[in-house]
Each structure stands twice: as C-alpha cells, then as structure tokens.
Amino acid sequence: MTALHDAPPATTGSPGRAPAGAARRGRGLVRKVLAYAVLVVVAALVLVPFAWMVSASLKQNNQVFTIPIEWIPREFRWSNFAEIWDRIPMLTYLGNSAFLAVTITLLQVLTGSFAAYGFSKVRFPGRDALFLAYIATIAVPWQAYMVPQYIMMQQAELTNTYWSIILLQAFGAFGVFLMRQYYMSIPDELCEAARIDGLSEYGIYRRIMLPLSKPALASLALLTFVNTWNDYMGPFIYLTSNELWTVQLGLRSFVGQYDAEYAMMMTGAVVSVLPILVIFLFGQRYFIRGIATSGLKG
Amino acid sequence: MTQVITQPAPSSAGPRPKRAWRTILVGWSFILPNFVGFALFTLLPMLAAFALAFLDWDSYSTPEWVGLKNFQRLLDDENFHVALGNTLYYAAGHIPLTLVAALGLAMALNRKIRGVQFFRTAAFFPYITSLVAVAIVWNMLFNPTAGPVNQALEAIGIADPPRWVASTDWAMPAVILTSVWRDMGYYMVLYLAGLQTIPNEYYEAARVDGANAWQRFWSVTVPCLRPTTFFVLVMLTIQSFKVLDLIVVMTDGGPGRSTLVLAQLVYREGITEGNFGYSSAIALVLFVIVLTVTVAQFRLNERRNAR
C-alpha cells in the first residue's frame, strides 16, 4: 500500500534507503502471511470436530479411538455409507424429516409473508397492538410453555402424529417478524401507486410485494427449513412411533442402543448433516442476511 | 413506523364508515391465517402457563386452585436448587466465552483479503449443524481415555486431564465448551455487521494520534460496537437460561444431576411425570429470571446511553 512512497530518491542513492523500502514491503508480506496464519489456525480449531466426524465415519469401529489419532484412516471404509441404510431405517427418517421440514417451511413462508403484509401495508385500528403481542412472544422462551402445549395436544389426541409438530411450529412469530422487517423497507408509495392503478390489496401482495421480497422469502425459507430439520425437542416430545421418527431422533436412538459403534454413529451423523451442508453452501448469503435483519433490527 | 397515513383514493368515494370496515376486514384477512395458528398454539399455551402454575394438577387428578403452594414446594425441592445452580453456572460460562469468541472471530475475519469468505462460512457452519450430530461428535472428542481433547492436553504436559462428560465436575465445562463452539459463528455474523458500520476515518484519526492496534481496539472498536454488544448480550442471556436440547442430547442432565438445568426440570416434571401445575411453576420462575435479567440489561444500557 505504501510502497510508492518508499521509492528511494534517485539523487542521493544512499545505500540505506533501498533495503529500508524492501523491509517495509517485506513487512507487508509478513503481515499478510500472519493474517492467513491466524485464519488457518482459527478455521482448523472450528473445523476439527467435522474432520473427526468425517474421518471416523470412514473407519472401522475399533480404529476410531487410537493413540495417537489417525486423522486419515488407514483404509477408507466406504462400505459404512452403504451399511448405515440397513442398520437403521435411515431412508424413512430422512423422508420424515424432509416431509416435516418442507410442510412447515411452506406454511410458515405463506402465512408469515401474508400476515406481514397486513402488519406493514394495511392500516387498521388495533394493528400495532396485535403486532406487539407477536413481538412479546418472541421474548418468552418456548421452554416456559411447552407443557401447556403438550397438554393441549394430548387432549386433542394429536400426540404421536405429525399434526402436533406442524401445528406447533408452522405459525411462529419469527416469520411474520422477519417478513415485516423487509416489507417496511419497501416504500409505501409503491403500494399507493398500485392502489391508484386499481390493484386490490391482494393483488399488490401477489404482484408487487412477493416478487420484490424474494431475498427475504429465501432467508425465511432456508432458516425455517434448517431449524425444522435440526429440531430435536419437538419430535422427541411428540413422536413415539419409530416409523414417524426424524433423522435426529433416529440417530440419537442409534447412539443410545449401540454405544460402541463409533464409526457407524459418525456415518449417521455425516448423512444427517450433508443435506444441511448442501443447502447452506447454495444459500449462505440468505442465511447471513436473514440473521442480520432479524437480529440487528430486533 | 414512519408510515404516511394512507390517503383514501378520491375516485372510490363511498360512505366513510363502510370504507373503514372494509380496511379492517382486508387487514384481518391478511393476518388471520397466521394468527389463528399463532393464537391457538403459542399465545393460548403461553397464557395457560401462568394459570397452571397456581393449580395442583397432574395427569390423573382434576385441577385445583392452590395459590402459591407450588412455589412453596420449590423452596424445599433439592432438584430445583441444583437445576437453578447449574443453569446459572452454564450462563456464567456460556455468555462471556461466546461473546469473546464471537468478537475474536469477527475481528480476525473482518479483513479484505482473498478467501476470507471461506473462513466466515466455516466459522458459521457449526451453528446450523444439528445438535444431535454436534453432541455425538463432542462426546467422542471429550472421551476421557482416547479422545482428541485429552490426547492434546496430555501432549502439552497435562498428566491427568479431566474426565469431562464422565465426571460430575467436568461435565458442565464440556457442555459449555461445546455450546460456545456451536454458537460463536452466529454472534460473529452480528459482530461482523457491527464492525462494518464503523467508519474507517475513526481508525485513521486514532492512527494519526499514535494509537497502536491494542489502543485502537479499546478506544474505537469496543465503544463503536456497544449497540451490537448490547444486543448480543441480551440474546445470549435469553439463550443461556433456556438451554435444553444440547443438555438432553449430550448428557441428559448427568452424570448424577451435575448438568440438570431448569428447562430440563420443566420437561421432566411436566411431560415425563405429568405434574402439570408444579412444572409450570418452575417454568414461570425460568421466565421471570429471563425477563428480569433482560429488563435489567435494557435499563443499564439506557443509563449508559444517557451519559
């Protein structure tokens, strides 16, 4: 950056100047190398658990815990990834998780964005008080009302069905909140112009707001999908039959039953994380944006 | 919030009250699909939780109003004392460590150098990895005899490393370390957003004044990040006090009761044992703690802003 200023004045040609410039340039290089070194160390620390997971998933059970650790398996047992499907009904679990995640995401995105339009672009009495009720529930930990929810579901005889999970998770306040934040940033004049052109409120929502809010919709959809996919407590409380289990429940139960099958556990863990990794890599900017908007403006 | 009041379009000049009714109907029609679900499955249970705390009700008996009896029972319940202590312990570890780790990560990754995006992605990924996978992996990393953590500790000369999740003293630190690793990426994102709002001129001015990197951090970065830090603190506090799933999956409260936390006691009493009234009293205490700490943080922040 400062290299230009360091050019030695041509006239003097003093022997001390040139090495000084080189040293400065050298220091820049050292700094850059140092910065990368820091990053690599940080990344290594963060990623070690994943490295362990993948490495162990390709070993034999009795080779997982060795002293010293073999980070690269002596022989790669790719067959683990074929066996896991027979050891536990992995395909069923994945299907169940996908079904729940897709259903809940669709409902959350649809009803959330629809309500957010009402909360941000239609003025009617009581609207802001109602929104405050939504906000207030975000501050109450779910753990404080999980028992009444459970009693309700028990009375309605919906425990051990997907209905319980879907009904409890599809209408959360978070989606409304996130979408409203985004709609507030879209100027009202746009809606006003559309109203004058004779578009109904529903028309404005469908033809103007939805297309404009694609990034926010993507953020909400991805966050909801991943949350539902990863959720443990919901399925743990409500789903008792094995054929309804999600990946998370299936994996946890496998670990409880076969506590020495280290390699298989890790194979299962890799299979359960892989879909999330793919989704994350494709949509990471939406994740980050979703967190930044819902977080910092909260 | 800064909306201009909608002007009624002059062309559709109906009688005023009719228009007002129409707007209300249209507004509600947007909100209703979500609101029905929200009111039934979030709002109602939330309100019920308050009432339940004052009832004597298990899955067999008929509900009976008992006033504060459930709360009196809390005072003598040893499980409750242990769970409260453990929750505070977890919060005391999780909040500062996550904050420091997240800020450190954000500082390290707030550079304009090639490939930094990869490192940010890597640091964020633990946060969206499922808890079950995280718990299984870390339980293995913390394996007392041959786990990588203890092998590393032995390599740097610690002869008798802790037994982590197998010991009552070290299970909670193991859970805290795991949760810090998992959550720091999320708060890093918030800090990165905060760091990007600090104008570069501030740093240049400090440099002109001869401040070194450490001084620039304390006199420019930290004060400018105060709104972010405040938000991060509030979120971390709420998150810490309601910790549940990580504990259930990683240690299930054990060994013994060494990692039993409040939210888990609510689950055990309410859903496993069916003591609806008593569990709701514990839940109410949990909620009051979270609320008190959050309100206190807001007050402190206001006072500091006023200064």
User: What DSSP string describes B145-174?
Assistant: TT-HHHHHHHHTT-SS---GGGSTTTHHHH
CB contact under 8 A, A111 and B33: yes
Distance CA B94, CA B181 (A): 10
pLDDT of A255 reads: 83
- Note which residues in 267-286 of chain A have CB less than 8 A from chain B: 269, 272-273, 276-277, 280-281, 284
The Cα A265–Cα A57 span in angstroms is 7
- Encode pLDDT of B188-206 as tens digits: 988 988 888 888 889 889 9
The verdict on B100 touching A (C-beta cutoff 8 Å) is no
Q: Closest-CA residue in chain B for A238?
A: B271
* Chain B residues close to A123, C-beta within 8 Å: 3, 5-6, 23, 27
A contact residues 102-121, partner B, Cβ 8 Å cutoff: 110-112, 114-115, 117-119
Residue whose entry in the numeric block shows the structure tokens 């994350």: A280
Q: Answer whether B288 touches A (CB < 8 Å).
A: no
> Which of B108, B181, B279 comes nearest A147 by C-beta?
B279
| Nearest-by-Cβ selection for A291 from B118, B126, B189 | B189
Q: Decide if pLDDT at B303 tops 90.
A: no
Chain A hits for B267, Cβ within 8 Å = 143, 146, 237
Record: contact A35-B136, CB cut-off 8 A: no
Which regions of chain A are under pLDDT 50? 1-18, 296-298
* B271/A contact by beta carbon, under 8 A: yes
- From the options 3.30.530.20, 1.10.760.10, 3.40.50.720, 1.10.3720.10, give the CATH code of A84-296: 1.10.3720.10
Rounded to whole angstroms, the Cα distance separating A149 from A142 reads 10
pTM over 0.95: no
> If pLDDT is split at 50, 70 and 90, which confidence band does B18 have?
confident
Homologous superfamily of the B69-306 domain (CATH):
MetI-like (1.10.3720.10)
Under 8 Å CB pairs connecting chains A and B tally to: 272
- For chain A, the first-to-last Cα distance in angstroms comes to 39
ipTM for the complex? 0.82
Residue B12: CB atoms within 10 A of its CB come to: 10
pLDDT tens digit sequence for B113-154: 788 888 888 888 898 888 898 998 998 888 888 888 888 888
- Does the beta carbon of B49 lie under 8 angstroms from any beta carbon of chain A? yes
- B249/A232 Cβ within 8 A: yes
DSSP H helices, A58-89, are 80-87
Beta bridge partners of B56: B64
- pLDDT band at B307, cuts 50/70/90? low
Q: Please answer yes or no on whether B146 and A291 come within 8 Å at the CB atom.
A: no
What is the reported pLDDT for B82?
A: 92
Q: Touching check for B41 and chain A: CB below 8 Å?
A: yes
Kindly tell me if the per-residue pLDDT of B178 is higher than 90: yes
Two tokens, residue A60: 């034999």
Neighboring chain B residues of A172 at a CB cutoff of 8 Å: 38, 42
| Beta-strand relationship, B55-56 and B64-65 | antiparallel
Band of the pLDDT at B64, cuts 50, 70, 90? confident
A37 touches chain B (CB under 8 A): no
Q: What is residue B13's predicted lDDT score, i.e. its pLDDT?
A: 44
- Candidates A174, A225, A180; CA nearest to A205 is A180
